[in-house]
Every structure is written in structure tokens, then in C-alpha cells.
Amino acid sequence: MRRSDRIALISKTLSENPNKVISLSSFSDRLGAAKSSISEDLDIIKKALMASGEGELVTIPGAAGGVRYRTQRSMEAINAFLQGLCETLQDKKRIIPGGYLYMTDVIFSPEFSCIIGEIFSQLFFDKSPTHVLTVETKGIPIALMTARALNVPMVVARRDSRVTEGPSVGISYVSGTGQKIHNMSLAKRALPENARVLIVDDFMKGGGTAQGMRELAAEFKAEVVGTAMVVTTAVPKEKLVEDFTTLLILEGIDTHEGEVHISINGKLLSVLQE
């Protein structure tokens, strides 16, 4: 097999298995090439990724080592994507009577959800999460893409317990704005004790649901290493969750003028610059 062919197949395998350690032996056996040749191929890929800012290739030494691809985007690329996302959500046709914003098509879009998941993965990779937790239903695509980029399992908290999932742990929590009581449950076998949990959801207003997921994780003696949201409202300013990361901030919706005021979270760009 020619080197160009090997590089194409290796790159495809790495991109389809982010954050997973793959041994040189597996590439060698599959492609019928010596490990020394595979190492040279990987070095070419590593330099190309570094030059383009499209990701990072890390060599893991030792008998159980290999190579691991980590998704990573430049600050410029992330800023450009978020600018485009703002423009998409600012379409006046997205305004729903009652002052709501229609986001479902964006959240369930493979293109948008995949990139958002990779951004969340990049932001929280150093926190070493072992699980991604979300609540049904609209946060699932974003959480799944984040879990894929981190190569960790995703678990979903249910509004109501399901008999098909066996024994579960349930809690009651208060919504951040309406002060209504809601229920949330998670199967006992879904999350092991002492897990490191990254909470991911699509939208946050008062923070009640996010706080509920934190309390649910505590029932499993899990540590919450971060809370990531796609969109967070500017009002109320004080949320029930203090430590969270959001990509966009919804300043408000003018139903009379047909305007959606949404912007990139400036603090997020500051973090990416560090």
C-alpha cells in the first residue's frame, strides 16, 4: 500500500475515534506495514494537524501505548462558527408566540451538534470527565456529540422513571424561574460511584434543571467537573448554578420588532485565548 493511501486510512480511523488510544500494532497489522513506516505516517499527520490547527495527535509511550487523536479547533475557527450560529438563530422566523426561540432544528442538526460537542470537549478535556450527563430530550444530541469527542459514555436523566431501566434514583427539584417542582431520575446502573460528570444541555434560563442534575449526580457520589450550555439567557442574571460555561447569551426577544438579540459569550473567548 502506498504511503498516501496509508495516511488517508489512518487519518480516517483517528478522526472516527477521537480521544481513543490506538496501538501502532493495529495499524501495522491492518495496513501490512512495519511499525517504523506507521510511525513516519503518523508524524506526517501530526505535523499537518498542528500546521492547520485542526487537532492534536499525542503519542502514548509504553507497552499499552499508541497514538491518540484529540479534536481541537483554533479560537478563530470557533469564533467564526459561533458567529454563524448567532446569525442562524437571529432569524425572525424562529420567534415563537410567547417570546420563545425555536432551536430544535439546530440542536438536532449533525453539523451543528458535532461541532458544538467538539468545542465542549476541547473546553473540558483537561477536567478528565468519565461521563456526560444530560436530561431528556433536546440536550441529547449535543451531549452525545460531546461524549463522542471525549470518548466517554453519555447518560440521560429521565423526567419519569422507566421500568425497562431497572431500579433508579429519583429526586425532586425546583425550576429556576417558575418555582415549580419537577422530578428527575437515573437508573442505578447508569452511573458508577465516584464518576467525574460533565453536565451538558441545550438551554438554561434560571438554572433549575442544571442544579437538579447536579443534585442527582451527588446521589451517585459523582463529582461534577463542569456544566456546559449552548444558550443561556441574560435574565435572570443570578442562576441557581454558579459555575457554568455557555457558548451564547440570549439578551432578549423583541416580538413586536421581530428581533432576536443573541451574542457570543465574551468570557468563553477569553478562556480559549489562555
Which domains can be identified in the chain, with CATH numbers? 3-71 (1.10.10.10), 75-273 (3.40.50.2020)
Closest CA to 171 of 207, 133, 212: 212
Q: What is the mean pLDDT of residues 202-214?
A: 95
Question: What cell numbers appear for 233 in the block?
Answer: 439567557
In angstroms, the CA 31 to CA 258 distance is 57
CA angle (190 as vertex; 163, 199 as ends), nearest 5: 120
The more confident residue out of 19 and 137 is: 19
In angstroms, the CA 68 to CA 45 distance is 12
Q: How do residues 41-50 score in pLDDT, each as one tens digit? A: 999 999 999 9
The more confident residue out of 179 and 238 is: 238
In angstroms, the CA 70 to CA 19 distance is 5
Per DSSP (E only), the strands in 81-160 are 95-96, 100-101, 131-135, 154-157
Q: Give the predicted TM-score (pTM) of the model.
A: 0.93
The per-residue pLDDT for 60 is 87
The per-residue pLDDT for 165 is 83
What's the burial of 111, exposed, middle or buried (CB within 10 Å: 0-12/13-18/19+)?
exposed
Q: How do residues 36-86 score in pLDDT, each as one tens digit? A: 999 999 999 999 999 988 899 999 887 767 999 999 988 999 999 999 999
pLDDT tops 90 at residue 274: no
**Strand, coil or helix: what is 23?**
coil
The per-residue pLDDT for 273 is 67
pLDDT band, very low/low/confident/very high, at 99 (cuts 50, 70, 90): confident
Q: What is the mean pLDDT of residues 191-195?
A: 92
Q: What is the mean pLDDT of residues 163-175?
A: 87
What is the average pLDDT value for the chain, to the nearest integer?
93
In angstroms, the CA 142 to CA 70 distance is 18
In angstroms, the CA 127 to CA 137 distance is 25
Cα–Cα distances (Å) from 120 to 8, 135, 148, 252, in that order, read 27, 17, 11, 24
Phi, psi of 55 (to 5 degrees): 160, -175
Cα–Cα distances (Å) from 181 to 184, 208, 212, 213, 217, in that order, read 10, 10, 11, 14, 18
**Strand, coil or helix: what is 177?**
coil
The per-residue pLDDT for 193 is 87
The per-residue pLDDT for 159 is 86
